[in-house]
Amino acid sequence: MAKRHRLAIVGAMKISWILVGLLALGACKSGSTAPAEGEGEEEATPAAPVEEATPPAEPVAEEEPPSPEPAAPAPAEVAAPVIQPDPNAPPSVAAPPKGAQRTKSGLASKVLKKGKGKSRPGKFDTATMKYTGWTPDGRMFDSSESYGQAMVVPLNHTIHGFAEGVRLMVAGEKRRLWVPAKLAYGEKGSGTETAPRQPLGDLVFDVELVSFKKAPEPPEAPKDVGEIPADATRGTSGLAWRVLEPGMGSEQPIDTSVVEMAYTVWTTDGQVVESSLLRGRPDTVGIKRLVPGWTEGMKLMVEGERRMFWIPEDLAYGGASNRPSGMLVVDVTLVQIRRDLHQVH
């Protein structure tokens, strides 16, 4: 039958994706992009049918509606990839043996090869070492062999359990360390793993200490490290400070600034947390990566200025596990404002 009417149906499909850039903060730990949630395929509303003019004397033949297209089958669930255990993982990777040495912190270790001498690394010393790390199910997640050389690491820039284990060793010694989650990257279920080389839960390391370099003696703590002195200036946030040496100029850092600074950080009992003086040179850092109170303080300074800051716990590490608790005291000199982060490519 000849058709006298034609139906025009207009459809449109539109796909839009939004990429959101995320800036990561490493440490020693260390941006990514991800599609925004809720974005997907959206179907446009069909346009109304358009009818052509027809001679009035002739009947209009109706066109049968097309059969509905079968629905697309639901996508099959994809099984999570199976991570095969490392065939070279030690048999005792799941748990320390009965004869392992244990410390008060919960670290367990066993000497695999004796070293020479009696000198051991200190908290701020730099160690040259070879190592391999496994999860308790035998998955190898990191190894110095993948870098093709022994690694040189300041011991205060690595996880607490690993650093504690290395400080038990002498040069040439090899040990197996069973590091509990609280001394590593955290308990499973407490967060999301941020990197494949930083798995949550208990970890096991084989470590060989090749050599180590002693750090300079840390700076002595100031006399008023235990509490905020009466003559300190206090901000509305709770941050307190004292100007030790004036600077020059009027330019001050902003949130996106990268600065060169010399500093030492203490806890209120006079223990050194970190110091650029131990490495014999200033550090260069984006101030937004500092604890909030320190970032706030840096924005008050000009080049050449030296200040002492008393940073309350809620503006410091906020009671985070494996971080110094309580107030921090920082002696810092702003050497130079280098650039802003948005200028870094």
pLDDT in tens, 193-226: 556 788 999 999 999 999 999 999 889 999 999 9
- Residue 27 pLDDT more than 80? no
As a whole number, mean pLDDT of residues 146-164 equals: 93
| Predicted structure pTM score | 0.63
Main-chain phi, psi angles of 73, to 5 degrees: -65, 145
Average pLDDT over the chain, rounded to an integer: 80
Question: Mind giving me the DSSP string for 255-300?
Answer: TTEEEEEEEEEEETTS-EEEEGGGTTS-EEEEGGGS-HHHHHHHTT
Q: 264 and 331 in contact (C-beta within 8 Å)?
A: yes
57-72 pLDDT tens trace: 343 334 444 444 444 4
- 9 pLDDT higher than 80: no
Q: Which of 271-275, 281-285, 293-297 has the highest mean pLDDT?
A: 293-297
Tracing tokens 């509990």 back to the chain, one arrives at 180
pLDDT tens digits for range 298-345: 999 999 999 999 999 999 999 887 789 999 999 999 999 988 766 654
Predicted local distance difference test score (pLDDT) of residue 241:
98
Instruction: Give 121-139 pLDDT, tens digit per residue.
Output: 999 999 999 999 999 999 9
List, for residues 236-258, the tens digit of each pLDDT value. Answer: 999 999 999 999 999 999 999 99
36 vs 310, more confident: 310
- CB atoms inside a 10 Å sphere around CB 285: 18
Do 146 and 140 contact (CB within 8 A), yes or no? no
Phi first, then psi: give them for residue 287, nearest 5 degrees: -65, -20
Domains and CATH numbers, the chain: 91-213 (3.10.50.40), 233-343 (3.10.50.40)
